Structures are given as C-alpha cells and as structure tokens.
Copies of this chain bind each other. A is one copy, B any other.
Amino acid sequence: MRQKMADMVHRIQDEICEQLRSLDGVDYRQDEWTREEGGGGRSRVFSGGKVFEKAGVNVSVVHGTLSPQAAQSMGGGHELKGKDLDFFATGISLVLHPHNPMAPTVHANYRYFERGEGEKPGSWWFGGGADLTPSYLFEEDAVHFHTVLKNACDRHEVADYGAYKTWCDDYFHIKHRGERRGLGGIFFDDLNSASKDECFAFVEDCAQSFLSGYLPILERRKDLTYTEQQKDWQQIRRGRYVEFNLVYDRGTKFGLTTNGRIESILMSLPLTSRWEYCHEVASGSEEERLLQVLREPKDWLSE
C-alpha cells in the first residue's frame, strides 16, 4: 500500500499540474526536497500566472520515528514503544488561490499513514478531504463542488458524505471569529473501517475527482469583472485563511513543530492578505450573504 499510495499521489500531482499549467500560462517551479530524518517530497508552485495569485501542489513520502510528543497524540491512549514508533506517511496537498475575487480558493489533501509495520488493527489509516473558500457566494458553485464529492462518497461503501461534510464544517472552524473558513466540502481521518484496498479506492476516487469538482467553477469565475472594493474584501478573507492555517490547522502546526520543509508547509498561505480593524460589511450586501453561510453552514444538497 505504501508504494501504491505514493504512486497514486505522484500521478495525480502530474495530472493536476498539467491542467493548471495550460490554464495559467506559466510553468510551475518544482522543488524536490529530502527530509533529514527520512524521505522527502516534490513541491510545485505556480506564481505570477494569468489565473493564480499563488498555487501549490505538494506530494511527500516520509518515514522515521515518532517524537514522544507525536507518539502521545497518535497512540490513541496507548503508550507506543520500539518498532511501533516507526511511521510512514505519504500524501498530496494542494491550495490554489486565484487572482479574481469571484473565483474561490480551493484546498485538497489526501494522505496515508502507517505506524510500525502497518499491519495491526489501528496501525494504518487514510485521511483527507477537499473544501472550497470563496470571497463571494455563488450557490451553484457550492452545489457543484459538494455534488462531485458526494458522488465520490456514494460510489464507496466505506465513505459517508453526510458525516464527512459535517466533519469538514467542524474542522475548518475559525473559532475566535465564529466563522467557517469556507463553504466546506468533506473531511475525514483515521479511515480504516474497511480493507486497505477499499479505503484506497475511495481516496483515489476523491483525488481523481478533484479537477472535475473545481475547474468548471474556476472557468465560470476567473474572468468576471470586479471592483477594487471586491478585491479588498478578498484580501480580508485571505487574512482569515491565514488565521485558520496558522492558529488551528493540524497539518500546519505539525509541520512547524517537527522540522518539516517550511516553504512547503506555508505554501498554503495566500500571496497577500489584509487585516482591517473592525471591518464591517454592509447590511444586505454580497459580503454579508457570504458571512451568513460561514456562520451557519448550509446543507448544499438538501433540495
């Protein structure tokens, strides 16, 4: 499974980057990096292109020994020792920030983790998800994005769209703002309730569905006209994105405290962002309409 998952995420990275390259009119910068403690990764970042302010697609395959701190948080209450402290992790992680404030930011991440030999129950799992973060609300975009994810879930017995949708809303919660980061999507972790192959098939399906979930939305929005005020609002929303990632995101925190490659971890941050003191949106405005669904997550597929 280690090799199978590593191969899959590399293939998906190639596919996605190929599409982004043709859209963006520039090539990505690629950095292959190694990790002192074992393994490494391949980061690809677009910047200065037609469509994206900044867009990063990263894969990594790392292994090593869990730190006492990490072992504690991953042992599920059991003390891990000796061989059980060995770990292997591989995954793909991407964040795309378009220039146009009408085009949403998107994030996706699919990963596989093993402790020890990865054979005992509970010593391996998959995790991941995808979520959409617009500055302006187009309901049809939210519906399309969630539909593609629900369809992927529905094709696999192991997956549960409803539960993963709620998990996503709960995870991407900027608690100090009382807002979700975006319109959600799916989020799941510790997935091992079927065979490795069945779980993999679901995760692969999600990863392969990424482009069909996002590209139609991007195509519709990337060339819309917008005002300077709308660009400012996007920058304020970018600030919220930064707040979530630096204050709450587990992957970011894990990376920052475990000697990860900083530039790959923080490639999720937008190129620019803005914090206005006590910014308020006008009553009845499009900005307020977005805030409402960030404050009270909607079930996009209910009707």
What is the bound-complex CA distance between A269 and B235, given in angstroms? 14
Q: Is the CB of B274 within 8 A of A271?
A: yes
Q: Which of B177, B257, B263, B269 lies in contact with A278, CB distance below 8 A?
A: B263
Name A260's closest neighbour in chain B (CB-CB): B176
What is the bound-complex CA distance between A74 and B270, given in angstroms? 36
A278 CB contacts on chain B under 8 angstroms: 29, 31, 45, 263
A54 interfacial contact with B, CB 8 Å: yes
Q: Which of B31, B176, B235, B242 lies in contact with A256, CB distance below 8 A?
A: B176
* Total copies of the chain: 2
Q: Mark A32-49, 1 if CB is under 8 A from B, else 0.
A: 000000000000010100
A238 CB to closest chain B CB, in angstroms?
10
What is the bound-complex CA distance between A242 and B65, given in angstroms? 31
Q: Is the CB of B271 within 8 A of A272?
A: no
A252 CB to closest chain B CB, in angstroms?
9
Q: Is the CB of A177 within 8 A of B262?
A: yes
A56 interfacial contact with B, CB 8 Å: yes
Q: Is the CB of A256 within 8 A of B247?
A: yes
A266 CB contacts on chain B under 8 angstroms: 243, 275
3 cross-chain pairs, A with B, having the tightest CB-CB distances, nearest first = A246-B246, A269-B275, A176-B256
Among A246-266, those with CB < 8 Å from B are 246-247, 256-257, 262-263, 265-266
A157 interfacial contact with B, CB 8 Å: no
Question: What are 12 inter-chain pairs, A to B, with CB distance below 8 A?
Answer: A31-B278, A47-B276, A47-B277, A176-B265, A239-B269, A242-B273, A246-B247, A247-B247, A270-B275, A271-B275, A272-B272, A273-B273
A217 interfacial contact with B, CB 8 Å: no
Name A244's closest neighbour in chain B (CB-CB): B246
A270 CB contacts on chain B under 8 angstroms: 275
What is the bound-complex CA distance between A242 and B239, given in angstroms? 10
What is the bound-complex CA distance between A278 and B235, given in angstroms? 21
A267 interfacial contact with B, CB 8 Å: yes
Q: Which of B257, B271, B273, B277 lies in contact with A267, CB distance below 8 A?
A: B277
Among A164-187, those with CB < 8 Å from B are 175-177
Q: Mark A262-303, 1 if CB is under 8 A from B, else 0.
A: 110111011111111110000000000000000000000000
